[in-house]
Copies of this chain bind each other. A is one copy, B any other.
Amino acid sequence: MSRNKPGATHRAPASRSSVSLKSLAEHLGLSQAAVSFVMNRSPNAKSIPQHTQDLIRKAARELNYRPNHLARSLRQQRSFTIGVLVPEISEGYAALVMSGIEDHLLQEGYFYFVVSHRHRADLLEEYPLLLQQRAVEGLIAVDTAIAEGLQIPSIAVSGHREVPGVTNIVLNHARGAMLALEHLYKLGHRRIAFIKGQEFSSDTAIRWQSIQDSAAALGIEIDDRLVVQLKGESSSPELGYNVTQQLLGSGAPFTALFSFNDVSAIGAIQALRESGRRVPDNVSVVGFDDIQSAAFQNPALTTVRQPLRQMGMTAAETLLQRITNAGQDSYPKEIVVEPTLVVRASTAPIP
């Protein structure tokens, strides 16, 4: 199955124990300082003639010298590492934000630790501390209520509490709610059901408030019997499925459903279908987020799109700026991004 090609040692001689600055300097008959200056293109290197510089770089290449990042971090008090705190590593929301974060971060030479707290209070408390012990230079919390009193610059993606030292990156929820409700309103819907998010979700309160405001502005009345709330920790569509059954059980009629997010909307559609209702013929459904699979549902999901990747990139970019400009203690308290309505096939005019 696998052959050992005899002449295939095209890699460098794989220096068993990795070479250190010390061994490299000895090999060259120079001081560690000289080598360090040259390798880092430090201003001090100007006292080293070009010829010697070339020799140093050549030897470094040949011996495959790679400076130990730990040692450098310790000395410089700079780790080029940040921490990312998410509720859970899964397909939807967090994954998209993380991919945006990574995009910007790696490009700037930073690495990051990911930790997921799964809404456990002890982990929420402990992880930021552990991350700081590991000398991260900043923290990005995704959909996570961040504790006060952090020593390092922090960004909260979808954070809404005003915490000293924290930049919140938030969606314009007023607009998001209005886009969705206006769309339904224009299709003739008046009896609209709502699925609220769990208490622990950062966006739950603000989104619900925005919905109430938009509904009032449009003259849509919200029937309490048509409002349910997701229950449970998991991020599976099942949660949406469950509360939709509850909604159907109440007997109150509705022609549209606006769900807290796409994942729950997907579960909701399944429940509607099983109850004999067709989407969008009998009930229109609007989701929120526009996760990757939203476009490939059947019917394809109409949803309020959050620019999640963009939010991740902005988070990383802002964080690095704050780290680099440390000292200035002015920093943005809030950055607002705009939603868009993506109309697909899960909404239609009232029957």
Contact = CB atoms under 8 A, between A and B. Distances in A.
Contacts of A52: none
A74 B66 contact: no
A68 B136 CA distance: 11
Contact of A74 (B71, B241, B299): B71
Nearest to A135: B70
Given A88-B99, A91-B291, A67 B273 contact: no
Interface in A45-90: 66-71, 73-74, 79, 88-90
Interface residues of A, number: 60
A304 interface: no
A138 to B, nearest CB: 15
Nearest to A1: B162
Nearest to A266: B296
A89 B67 CA distance: 28
Contact of A293 (B71, B135, B293): B293
Interface in A155-190: 161-163
A299 B135 CA distance: 48
Contacts of A92: 91
Contacts of A295: 237
Interface in A87-139: 88-92, 95-96, 98-99, 102, 106, 111-116, 129-130, 132-135
A348 B151 CA distance: 59
Nearest to A111: B113
B161 A2 contact: yes
A14 interface: yes
Contact of A292 (B68, B90, B112, B129): B90
A112 B231 CA distance: 31
A112 B111 contact: no
Interface of A: 1-2, 11, 14, 18, 66-71, 73-74, 79, 88-92, 95-96, 98-99, 102, 106, 111-116, 129-130, 132-135, 148-149, 151, 161-163, 236-237, 241, 266-267, 269-270, 273, 291-293, 295-300
Which 3 residue pairs spanning A and B have beta carbons closest together?
A2-B162, A298-B298, A237-B296
Given A91-B92, A91-B292, A95-B95, 6 more contacts: A14-B151, A69-B134, A70-B135, A113-B113, A237-B296, A298-B298
12 contacts: A2-B163, A68-B133, A70-B74, A88-B99, A90-B95, A90-B99, A91-B92, A91-B292, A111-B134, A112-B114, A269-B298, A270-B298
